[in-house]
């Protein structure tokens, strides 16, 4: 995606003397308040285990590093890929995917819904009020499009408010790669954090995700006197490198097989072009299944998670049913928008700690 072919910003701006347009978007995202709040939003493990675990911000930085590497290897626009990686989780509410599912369920009871991608778009378009010349961050079309389309497709019939984002076309490759590098990042990072939390049965992992077992066996042959933790880390590094390399190779092969010569060719492709090989897709799915069964549903994880999302629900219903219970600026917004939407926006913007603090104040004891 060349900047010269960008559809530009919603509100035109003069070019910057030494930064490209996608680099400017990257910088605006990094300086956004919503980006800073990611530091205090859970990825998987809460701080009660250790202060070394990934949070939503450090996960985002790891995704960004991989995305830039892949983009450069494929000859794509690395600044655009970096901006999209940095913004890809900015719409997540407190308590990770569990918090998102609960907010969505609560909003469906009110005739609405919650989707972190669409919430991210509203953050950069409406909520981040930093500049006098325009509302929001005024990001380029391609970054806003990637926020919406990087991980899934939306139909114009179901989401008429998104029709400007070319819903009948594929997003550029810079956006398509984000979902895959996100998968690489959280698969490997969650295994690392699970080992740190002493929740990981390594022998079980090697049986259920056999490609990791092969990597670990090779490491043990090469470094027989190394500690078990360093052997595990080396195997994890090799797995990550293998998945990234496979993605680059498989995507390049796919582009050649489909004779892709331009961004328009990418957009008009009947399927997404960024992909793993079938073998690596199977390996990645095995890790995801292992994590889902043995880590994400571990009692010590679900105990914290379930308690937190119950607090989220209680606070949502309190704000929904109690007049003047939210700060005055949010209460004022209910004059123009449905109260459930404003309540949802308020809670989605909270950090984990702030939500629990508010819950403790309104529900003491």
Asked if residue 254 belongs to a domain, the reply is yes
> Could you write out the DSSP letters of every residue in 55-114?
BHHHHHHHHHHHHHHHHHHTT--HHHHHHHHHHTTTT--TTHHHHHHHHHHHHHHTT---
In sequence order, the 6+-apart residues with CB closer than 8 A to the CB of 152 are 117
Query: What pLDDT does residue 304 have?
Result: 86
Which domain does 262 fall in, by range? 173-296
> Is 149 found in the same domain as 31?
yes
Domain count, the chain: 2
Asked if residue 345 belongs to a domain, the reply is no
> Is 180 found in the same domain as 49?
no
> Could you write out the DSSP letters of every residue in 306-347?
HHHHHHHHHHHHHHHHSTT-S-HHHHHHTTTS-HHHHHHHHH
Q: How many residues can be counted in the chain?
A: 365
Domain boundary among the residues 296, 321, 348 is at 296
Query: What pLDDT does residue 301 have?
Result: 87
> Is 26 found in the same domain as 74?
yes
Asked if residue 322 belongs to a domain, the reply is no
> Is 195 found in the same domain as 161?
no
pLDDT in tens, the chain (365 residues): 999 999 999 999 999 999 999 999 999 999 999 999 999 988 887 666 666 788 999 999 999 999 999 999 999 999 999 999 999 999 999 998 899 999 999 999 999 999 999 999 999 999 998 899 999 999 999 999 999 999 999 999 999 999 999 999 999 999 999 999 999 999 999 999 999 989 999 999 999 999 999 999 999 999 999 999 999 999 999 999 999 999 999 999 999 999 999 999 999 999 999 999 999 999 999 999 999 999 999 988 888 889 999 999 999 999 999 999 999 999 999 999 999 999 999 999 999 999 999 999 999 87
pLDDT digits (tens, 9 = 90+) for 38-77: 999 888 876 666 667 889 999 999 999 999 999 999 999 9
Do residues 93 and 348 touch, judged by C-beta distance below 8 A?
A: yes
> Is 201 found in the same domain as 181?
yes
> Is 72 found in the same domain as 21?
yes
Asked if residue 196 belongs to a domain, the reply is yes
292/159 Cα distance (integer angstroms): 30
pLDDT digits (tens, 9 = 90+) for 304-320: 889 999 999 999 999 99
CATH of the domain at 104: 1.10.3210.10
> Is 69 found in the same domain as 150?
yes
Do residues 295 and 82 touch, judged by C-beta distance below 8 A?
A: no
DSSP letter, residue 229: H
Residue 236 phi/psi, 5-degree rounding, is -65, -40
Query: What pLDDT does residue 88 have?
Result: 97
Of the chain, the end-to-end C-alpha distance in Å amounts to 55
> Is 156 found in the same domain as 246?
no
Asked if residue 191 belongs to a domain, the reply is yes
> Is 133 found in the same domain as 184?
no
> Is 13 found in the same domain as 153?
yes
Domain boundary among the residues 155, 170, 185 is at 170
> Is 267 found in the same domain as 130?
no
Asked if residue 316 belongs to a domain, the reply is no
Query: What pLDDT does residue 49 have?
Result: 61
234/223 Cα distance (integer angstroms): 10
Domain boundary among the residues 278, 296, 314 is at 296
Asked if residue 311 belongs to a domain, the reply is no
> Is 137 found in the same domain as 33?
yes
Asked if residue 245 belongs to a domain, the reply is yes
3-state secondary structure of 343: helix
């Amino acid at each position: 995606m060349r900047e010269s072919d960008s559809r530009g910003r919603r509100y035109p701006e003069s070019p910057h003397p030494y930064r490209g347009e996608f680099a400017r978007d990257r910088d605006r995202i990094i300086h956004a308040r919503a980006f800073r709040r990611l530091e205090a939003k859970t990825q998987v493990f809460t701080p009660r285990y250790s202060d070394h675990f990934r949070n939503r911000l450090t996960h985002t930085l790891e995704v960004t590093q991989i995305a830039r590497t892949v983009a450069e290897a494929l000859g794509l626009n690395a600044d655009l890929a970096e901006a999209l990686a940095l913004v890809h989780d900015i719409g997540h509410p407190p308590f990770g995917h569990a918090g998102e599912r609960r907010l969505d369920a609560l909003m469906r009871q009110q005739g609405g819904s919650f989707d972190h991608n669409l919430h991210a778009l509203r953050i950069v378009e409406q909520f981040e009020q930093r500049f006098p010349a325009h509302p929001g961050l005024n990001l380029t079309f391609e970054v806003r499009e990637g926020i919406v389309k990087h991980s899934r497709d939306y139909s114009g019939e179901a989401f008429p408010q998104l029709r400007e984002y070319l819903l009948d076309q594929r997003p550029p490759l810079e956006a398509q790669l984000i979902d895959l590098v996100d998968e690489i990042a959280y698969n490997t990072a969650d295994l690392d954090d699970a080992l740190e939390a002493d929740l990981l049965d390594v022998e079980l992992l090697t049986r259920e995700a056999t490609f990791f077992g092969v990597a670990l066996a090779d490491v043990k042959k090469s470094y027989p006197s190394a500690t078990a933790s360093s052997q595990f880390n080396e195997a994890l590094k090799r797995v990550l490198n293998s998945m990234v390399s496979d993605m680059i190779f498989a995507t390049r092969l796919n582009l050649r097989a489909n004779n892709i010569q331009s961004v328009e060719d990418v957009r008009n492709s009947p399927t997404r072009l960024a992909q793993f090989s079938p073998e690596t897709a199977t390996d990645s799915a095995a890790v995801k299944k292992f994590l889902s069964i043995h880590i994400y549903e571990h009692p010590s994880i679900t105990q914290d998670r379930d308690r937190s999302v119950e607090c989220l629900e209680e606070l949502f219903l309190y704000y929904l049913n109690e007049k003047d219970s939210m700060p005055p600026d949010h209460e004022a917004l209910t004059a123009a928008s449905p109260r459930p939407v404003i309540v949802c926006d308020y809670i989605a913007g909270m950090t984990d700690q702030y939500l629990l603090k508010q819950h403790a104040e309104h529900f003491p004891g």
